[in-house]
Chains A and B, each alone.
Chain A
Amino acid sequence: MTRRQPRRHTSVDGRPAQPDAVVIGAGIVGAAAAFHLAEAGHRVVVLERGAPNREGSGTTAGNLHIQAIHTRRPGQEVPVDNRRFLPLQRRASDLWSTIEERLEADVELRRNGGIMVAETAAQERELRHKQEMERAAGIPTELLTGDQAREALPLLSGTVRAATWCELDGYANPLLITPAYLAAAVRRGAEVHAFTPVTAIDRVEGTAGGYAVRSAERTWTAPVVIDAAGPWLGDVAELAGIPVEMAPVVIQMHATVRVPPVMRHLVQHIGEGLSVKQASAGNVLVGGGWPAQRRHDLAGLAGGRGRASLSSMAGNLAQASRVLPFLAELRLLRMWAGPLGATPDEMPVIGEVPGHPGFFVAGGTYAFTFAPLWGETLRNLVIGKPPPEPVGDLGPGRLLSGKAVDRSP
C-alpha cells in the first residue's frame, strides 16, 4: 500500500488547485470520510448528486447498535455475521462517545442504553446465546427477566419475558450528524458541491495516476476517489468500470406527534425487526427495517425517496404497540421511506478496489452506527496506516462480479 501525503495546493495557470481526494456522496459515510481526511490535512472535495443527507443517512432511524445485531429486517434473506460485527461495534461505540466534542456540534447524542426484548422461550434462548457472545467480545450487556426489564422500563408489556440491557446503546439525530460532519470538514478546508451529479470517472494516464471525476460543468482530478454513494455505490463504481454488486432496499420509519419525555432507552426485539425510541424533540420513532413499497424500488428513486408501504406501517406499528402498548394511544404524525445500501451478504463493504489503486468504496449495512469508524478507517487506508480495526475481509473484492474491467492505462 502506498502512502499518500497531502499535496501542496498551488494553482497552475490560474486554474483551481486539484484536490487530494474526491468523495462521492454526502451521506454520513462520505461526510465522515471528508472530515477525517480534511482533519489530516488533505484537500477534499465532496460531490453530492442532490442535497446532502437527503437519502438513507437522513431517513434512517439513527440508532447506535452496540449490543449484538441479531434480528433480520422483514424480508431479509441473509443474516449478518453478528460475531464479526462485535469488535467493530465496540470500536464504533468508543468513537461515538467523543463525536460531539470532535465535531463541535450538538447532534442530540443520547447514550441512555438499550433493551432488546424476547417474547418467546426460543427468543429467550437466543438472548442468552447472544449475551455470552457479547461478553466474550467485551460488550457489556446484562440479562434481565421480564420483570426486571419492566422495572427498568415500565412501559414494556407483559409479553416481554426476558431482555438484554446494554448501557452503550443509544441514538443520535440523523438530521444533525451528517451536516455536523460536513460543517466540520468545511471548517478544515473541504469543499462540498451539492446538486452536482458525477457523470464520468476516468483513470488518469501517466505516472501520477489517479482519477478524473466529471460533472456536467467541471472535472476534478485526484489520486484518491472515495465512493460513498450508499445505495448507488455500485452505480458510481460502474462509472469507473468497476462492477460492485450491491443489494439496496427501501425501508420505512414512523414518527408520532411530540409527547412529554416518557422513555430514555432504545428498545429492540431479538426476533423481529423493531426499534423504538423517543427523539429529543419528543416524537416517538418506530422502525425496524420494514420494507417500503416494492413498486417504488430503487430504480424509481432517482427523483425521490419512494413511498412508505401501508402494510409495513400497520405491521410495524402493531408489533411496536404489542411490546410498548402506550404507543397505540399516540397519534402517528409522519412516515417516510428511505434507501438502505445493503450488500448481497448484508455485511459492510469498505476498502480499496483491487486493480484500481486509489479507488475506495465504503458503505453497506449499519453504516450509521459504523460511520465514525469508517471515517477513520478510510483516512488510514488512504494515508497507508493500519485502520482502527482490521477490515481486510470487508473489502470490495468479494462483491466484484468477475467482469471487473481493469482500466489501468
Chain B
Amino acid sequence: MAEHEVDVDVAVVGGGPAGLAAALRLAGGGLRVAVIDEAGELGGQFYKRRAAPIAAAFGDFRPEGTALVQRVRAAAGIESLTHTLVWGAADDGGTLLTSDTRTGAAGRVTARATVIATGAFERTAPFPGWLLPGVVTPGFAMHLATMDRTPVGRRVVLAGTGPFLLPVACALLDVGVRVAELVEYNRPYRPRRDAFGALRHPARLREAAGYLLTLARHGVRIRQGWRVIAAHGDEERVRAVDIGPAGDAASRRVEVDALCVGFGFRPSTELARLLGCLTRPDPATGEEATAVDEDGATSLDGVYAVGECAGIAGVHAALVRGELAARAILRRLGREAPGTGAGGLAAARRRGRALDRFAALSERLYPVPADLATSLADETTVCRCEGVTAGEIRRAAGQGWNDIHGTKGATRAGMGPCQGRECGHLVAALAAPEGPLAFTARIPLKPVPVRTAMALGDLAEGDDAA
C-alpha cells in the first residue's frame, strides 16, 4: 500500500525553471498542481538554492530563482513534493510512482495531465585518465563553487565545449580558483558570419560579454579549437592534463589539481520514453529529445514535456515553454477559453520561437565533436559503473550479432546504478550508430528500495505499468 497518495489536476515532474513556470500558470488558472522533485528544495539545477548559512554569509544565488520558488511555495493549489523521486508510471502517465529519497516511503500521484520537466544531464566524454579523482564535470565544479563556496581545486583546467563553460569559469574564479586554461573545442569567440544572428539577442550577448570580460580581467587564457588529450595523476588525484589543438598530435602539459570537462547537455528523456512518448533526434547534437509541438504536447494524450528534456534551449526558453504548456492544459481542462489572452499567447509563442532560434545558433557555434565516441582508444573505460572499455564494446558489436541491447548484454555496459544514462549515447555510437540512441527506459527509472517496490502490491492489473 502506498504511504502517500496525492491526487491533483496536473502533476509536474521536475521543479526547475520550466516546471515552476508551468506550475505557477496552472495554479493561477485554478488547477491543483503537484510539483515533484528529487532534490530537497525546488529550483532545479539552474535555480538551485543555497543552504541558509551560505546564503546568509555570501548572499543569494540567482535571486530571480529565489523569487520564483517563493511564488510557487506561496501559491494556493500547488503542493511541493520535494525529496520525491518519480521511479515509475502507470496509466499512460496518469499515475506516477514515487519514493521519498530519504525514507524510501512509497507514494502515488494521480493526475489528469502530466508535465515532464526533467531537465538535462551534462554530456561527458571519456578520455585517458577521466576516472582520476579530481576530474569532474563543469556542473559539479559549479555546484561546489556556488552552493558550498568550495573550490574544486586550486589550479584548474576547464575544457569541453559550450557557453556553459563561461559562467562556470567565472564561478570558479569567484571562489579563488586559478583557472589555468579554458579549453574550448570549437571557435565560437571570433567574428564569423554565423554569429551575426546573436545580434538579435542583445541580452544573451551582454551576458556572454560580461563573462568574457571577467575572464580577461583574471587573465584566463581561452584556447579555441583545442581539446583535452589525456589526464595524468595518481590514486590521490589528477596532477596534470595534456591539451592540444583538435586534429593535431601536438600537445602541451598543464599542471592541475582538478580538471573539469563537459560537452554541453543531453535531454533527460527517461520518463518520457518510459511512457512511450515519441522522441526525435536533436538536429545539432544527434541526441534524443522528447518530440513536442509548439505548446509542449507530446505524442501521448495529456502528457507534456517542457524545458531541456524536450531540447536544450536554456533557462529563458524553459520558462516560456513551461508557460505555454500550462496554457495548453488550461484550455484542455476548460479553464481558459481558446480565445482568452490570445495576444499574450501569440506573443509567448513568438518568444519561444525566437529563443529556439538562439538555441539553434548556439548549437551551431558549439557543435558536439562528431568523433566523441569513435575517437575513443580501445583501452578507455566507457561505462564506469561496470568498468567496460571502448574496445570491449567494439569487439562485442564487431561480431555482427549485436545491436545496442545485445552489446549491453555481452559487455554489461549500461547495467550499473546509473542505468546507462552516462554511457548510453557512447555505447549506441560505438555499437550500432543506426539503431536506438539510448538504452530502453524501464521501471525503476532510478534504483529504489525493494520495500518501496513491494509497497505497491495493491495495484490492480488495470493499473499496470505504462
The yes or no verdict on A and B being binding partners is yes
Residues of A within 8 A of B (CB): 26, 48, 50-54, 58, 175, 179, 182, 192, 194, 256-258, 281, 293-295, 304, 307-311, 313-315, 317-318, 321, 327-336
Report yes or no: B442 in contact with A52, Cβ–Cβ below 8 A. no
A160-B29 Cα distance, complex, nearest whole Å: 57
Q: List 28 A-B contacts (CB under 8 A).
A: A52-B406, A53-B409, A54-B405, A54-B409, A194-B402, A256-B450, A281-B386, A293-B464, A294-B461, A294-B464, A308-B465, A309-B461, A310-B88, A310-B90, A310-B97, A310-B463, A310-B465, A314-B455, A321-B450, A329-B449, A331-B447, A331-B448, A332-B447, A333-B419, A333-B444, A333-B447, A334-B419, A335-B442
Residue contact B442 to A308, C-beta cutoff 8 Å: yes
Min CB distance, A190 to chain B, in Å? 12
Binary per-residue interface labels of chain B (76-97) against chain A in the complex, 1 for a CB within 8 Å, 0 otherwise = 0000000000001010000001
B459 proximal to A (CB < 8 A): yes
B58-91 interface mask toward A, CB cutoff 8 Å, 1 = contact, 0 = none? 0000000000000000000000000000001010
Q: Is the CB of A321 within 8 A of B459?
A: no
Contact with A along B101-139 (1 / 0, CB 8 A): 000000000000000000000000000000000000000
Q: How far is the CB of B386 from chain A (nearest CB, A)?
A: 8
The answer for the CA separation of A307 and B448 in the assembled complex, in Å, is: 18
Q: Which residues of chain B have C-beta atoms less than 8 A from A50's C-beta?
A: 403
Also in contact, A314 and B459, with CB within 8 A (given A179-B410, A194-B401, A333-B447) = yes
Contacts of B457 in A (CB 8 A): 311, 314-315, 318
B459 in complex: contacting residue of A48, A182, A311, CB < 8 Å: A311
Query: Main SS of chain A's interface residues?
Result: mixed
A293-B464, A310-B90, A310-B443 known; A328+B406 contact, CB < 8 A: no
Question: Which of the listed residues B440, B448, B461 has the most CB atoms from chain A within 10 Å of its own CB?
Answer: B461
- Is the CB–CB distance between A51 and B406 below 8 Å? yes
B456: Cβ under 8 A from any A Cβ: yes
Residue of A nearest to B88 (CB): A310
CB distance from A402 to the nearest CB of B (A): 34
A220 → chain B, closest Cβ, in Å?
18
Task: Known contacts A53-B406, A307-B465, A336-B442; decide if A330 and B456 are in contact (CB<8 Å).
Answer: no
Task: Provide the residues of chain A in CB contact with B448, threshold 8 Å.
Answer: 331-332
Docked pose: A256 CA to B451 CA in angstroms: 12
For chain B, what secondary structure do more than half of its interface residues adopt (helix, strand, loop), or is it mixed?
Answer: loop
Name the contact of A51 in the complex, choosing from B90, B403, B454 (C-beta under 8 A). B403
Given A329-B449, A331-B449; A293-B465 close (CB under 8 Å): yes
Q: For the complex, is B417 an interface residue (Cβ under 8 Å from A)?
A: yes
Bound Cα distance from A331 to B87, whole angstroms: 12
Kindly state whether residue B460 has any CB partner on chain A within 8 Å. Answer: yes
B interface residues, tally (CB under 8 Å): 40
Residue of A nearest to B432 (CB): A51
Name the distance in Å between A106's Cβ and chain B's nearest Cβ.
13
Q: Given A331-B449, A333-B419, A333-B447, decide whether A314 and B405 contact each other with a Cβ distance below 8 A.
A: no
B402 with A51: CB separation less than 8 A: yes
* Alpha-carbon separation in the docked complex, A179 to B458 (Å): 40
Find chain B residues with CB under 8 A from A58 CB: 409
Residue contact B450 to A327, C-beta cutoff 8 Å: yes
Take A310-B463, A311-B459, A335-B442 as given contacts and tell me if A51 and B450 are in contact as well, using a CB distance cutoff of 8 Å. Answer: no
Shortest beta-carbon distance, B422 to chain A, in Å?
15
Q: Which of chain B's residues has its CB closest to A307's CB?
A: B465
Verify A332–B461 contact, CB threshold 8 A.
no
Chain A residues whose CB sits within 8 angstroms of the CB of B465 once the complex forms: 293, 307-310
What residues of A have a CB within 8 angstroms of the CB of B415 in the complex?
Answer: 281, 334
Let me know if B202 is at the binding interface, CB within 8 A.
no
A231 to B36, CA, bound (A): 41
Is the pair B454, A314 in contact by a Cβ cutoff of 8 Å? yes
- Specify which chain B residues have a CB less than 8 angstroms from the CB of A313 in the assembled complex: 443, 453, 456
Q: How far is the CA of A53 from the CA of B263 in the complex (A)?
A: 35
- Chain B, range 408-445, C-beta contacts under 8 Å to A: 409-410, 412, 415-417, 419, 440, 442-444
A334-B270 Cα distance, complex, nearest whole Å: 14
**Does B464 contact A332, Cβ atoms closer than 8 Å?**
no
A311 to B1, CA, bound (A): 11
| Contact between chains at A317 and B450 (CB < 8 Å) | yes
Identify which of A175, A194, A256 contacts B400 (C-beta below 8 A): A194
CB–CB A330/B461 < 8 A: no
Q: Is the CB of B464 within 8 A of A311?
A: yes
Query: Which of chain A's residues have a CB closer than 8 A to the CB of B97?
Result: 310
Contact B449 A311 (CB under 8 A): no
**Closest residue of B by beta carbon distance from A293:** B464
Which residues of the other chain, A, contact B412 by a CB distance below 8 angstroms? 175, 281
* Shortest CB distance A27–B (Å): 12
| Inter-subunit contact B449/A332 (CB<8 Å) | yes
Q: How far is the CA of A58 from the CA of B409 in the complex (A)?
A: 8
- Which residues of B lie under 8 Å from residue A317 when comparing CB positions? 450, 453-454
Q: How far is the CB of A73 from chain B (nearest CB, A)?
A: 16
Q: Would you call B459 and A310 a contact (CB within 8 A)?
A: yes
Q: What is the CA–CA distance of A145 and B162 in the complex, to the nearest angstrom?
A: 66
Known: A52-B402, A175-B412, A330-B449. 18 other contacts (CB 8 A): A179-B410, A194-B400, A257-B417, A281-B386, A295-B464, A307-B466, A309-B464, A310-B90, A310-B456, A311-B461, A317-B454, A327-B450, A328-B454, A329-B451, A332-B449, A332-B452, A334-B444, A336-B442
